Amino acid sequence: MSSLPPLPASVDHLVVGAGFAGLCAAIKLTEAGEADFLVVEKGDDVGGTWRDNTYPGAACDVPSQLYSYSFAPNPDWSMSFSPQPEIQAYIQRVARESGVLDRFRFHTAVEDAAWDAEARQWVVRTSAGEVRAQTLVVGAGGLSEPKLPAIEGIEGFRGELFHSARWDHDVDLAGKRVAVIGTGASAIQIVPEVAKVAGHLDVYQRTAPWVIPRNDRRYSALEKAALRHVPGLQRLYRTGIYWGRESYVPAFTMAPKIAFPAKKMALANIARGIPDPELRAKVTPHYEIGCKRILISNTYYPALAADNVELVTDRIARVTADGIVTTDGVERPVDVLIVATGFHTTDLPITDHVRGRDGRTMAEVFAQHGMAAYKGTTVPDFPNLFMLVGPNTGLGHSSMVFMIESQVGYLVDAVRTMRINSYDVVEPRRDATDAWNADLQRRMGRTVWNTGGCSSWYLDEHGRNTTLWPRSTFAFRGALRSFDVAAYRVEGPAPAPEPPTQAPIREDVNA
Ligand code: NAP
């Protein structure tokens, strides 16, 4: 890495993160003629969450034709729900072919980003040096920082221990006693794979998820050829998937009861996968479907029913040096402990490193006002900052790539507006931000996430949903279609330096 050139002293735009969001920003800024930018990424490659989550069985639960950039269709997806290596290869290929990688700096972590009000710039200290930028684009992701469970004794565990998003491929699971803590989206993909090789697998479930069948299938060579060569076919296919997914929105946001067909499918999935009535009862959730993310799998329930797998529903009391003790006093020995316990979603770690107009970090501002942004993208007191996958932009039903493209379109229009009007600074007004969030939270009141009788990572410690978007994705796209400068406080170009007072200009005197 020592051969890397030093960071430039300043750029017009600094993008943090090289996942789907950061890469999209880089491509669209370039297309808009904004070539003076830098993307800093703490990891060693593009891909973000798709680079990090390499656990066995990792795959996307949104169809790949939709979970991809609209401007980079891929006729070669092998499956309707593609596995992680293919998604990562797709992101790498798009990055390579778009010609933007020369402005990416890997192994470069943001340590501190502070707004310099006088210079009207962000001053960003990174692990590779300092860089100044007029705009700061935060694409650090909502699922980037693994959350380790706070369980008594876990730090004293002597076996192998790792998080699902930091899979240790050097650990051989064959014949071992493995424990998986968690039964979320990651765990249900991991469990069937681990069950195939482990000597014994204990799955620690705190809350049962709803799991519907995975209607996955492999694309034939003929289908791929048609998608590649028939004009408009792939776009039509994508559009069909998009509207199919949008049709789920009312069930999530207005009338959870209309999701009963999904509930029936999930119950049938349990019945199909698990013969034992006692185990069936243990995996049957007691809250509305959709309250937590609806999961998809054909292999999870059969894996739980396998002879070498035990579903443990007693709460974990503590972890010992070589096992897990549940509250009923039973200790189960463990060689390898896999924690699939999710991510820091409502306390985004990047917000500790970004300081706004009054020197407070974004985390401190969010602690006071709640995690909230204007249109999920801009934040009062944080001028010229654009958060991709910001507060209340997450989805329960469709592709985050669609939301990212909406936000990047807004960013590019903001930059264009600033150029045309010679604005140095744009900052969302507090009243506009409050109005946006009041409307959002009013809508949230009717959603299954808030009324469905579960607790989830969608809600913060006050029970406020700060992560999900409570409307259709086209409503989001519409709201961000153009940069609405009226909702912003702007500062024009810095005033020209005062003329020196000690040497009056003669013409003025004579005028
Ligand atoms: P998650 O959905 O937050 O699930 C975490 C699991 O760990 C839950 O079952 C939770 O139980 C359990 N847990 C947490 N702390 C615990 C503790 N102290 N003791 C016992 N159990 C504990 O995390 P995830 O599965 O990694 O998924 C996170 C998000 O990533 C998903 O919602 C999804 O957006 C995304 N994801 C997507 C895919 C995909 O296919 N596209 C795949 C994986 C992940 P409770 O339910 O009781 O809290």
Q: CB 347: neighbour CB atoms within 10 A?
A: 16
Please say whether the beta carbons of 4 and 128 come within 8 A. yes
Output the CA 460–ligand 1 centroid distance in Å: 15
- Write the residue with the smallest CA distance to atom 35 of ligand 1: 185
**Percent of the chain whose pLDDT exceeds 70:** 96
Q: Kindly report, residue by residue over 369-427, the tens digit of the pLDDT.
A: 889 999 999 999 999 999 999 999 999 899 999 999 999 999 999 999 999 999 999 99
Find all residues with CB under 8 Å of 143, minimum gap 6, and list them.
49, 165, 343, 345
User: Which mutation among 186, 191, 297 tests ligand 1's pocket best, with the greatest number of atoms within 8 A of CB?
Assistant: 186
Give the pLDDT confidence score for residue 142 in this predicted structure: 83
Atom of ligand 1 nearest to the CA of 59: 40
Residue 149 CA to residue 136 CA, distance in Å, equals 32
CA of 184 to the centre of ligand 1 (A): 4
CA of 301 to the centre of ligand 1 (A): 17
Q: What's the confidence (pLDDT) of residue 233?
A: 97
**Residues 141-199 pLDDT 10s:** 888 889 999 999 999 999 999 999 999 999 999 999 999 999 999 999 999 999 999 99
Which amino acid residue places its CA nearest to atom 24 of ligand 1?
342
Work out which ligand 1 atom sits closest to the CA atom of 185.
25
Q: Which is more confident, 104 or 142? A: 104
479 alpha carbon to ligand 1 midpoint, in Å? Answer: 30
CB count in 10 Å sphere of residue 415: 25
Structure tokens that stand for 229 in this block: 């060569």
Residues 130-141 pLDDT 10s: 999 999 999 998
Whether 135 and 27 have beta carbons less than 8 Å apart is answered as no
- The CA distance from 379 to 366, in Å, is 10
**Is 372:432 a contact under the CB 8 Å cutoff?**
no
pLDDT at 113 over 80: yes
Q: Binning pLDDT at 50, 70 and 90, where does residue 500 land? A: low
Which residues does a 6 A CB cutoff place in the pocket of ligand 1?
59-61, 143, 149, 151, 164, 181-187, 204, 206-207, 293, 316, 340-343, 457
Look at ligand 1, atom 37, and give the residue with the nearest C-alpha: 185
Task: Give, rounded to a whole angstrom, the gap between the first and last alpha carbons of the chain.
Answer: 63
CB atoms within 10 A of CB 304: 26
What residue ranges define each of the domains in the chain, with the CATH number in brackets?
10-145+344-491 (3.50.50.60), 154-209+248-339 (3.50.50.60)
What is d(CA 202, CA 149) in angstroms, rounded to the nearest whole number?
17
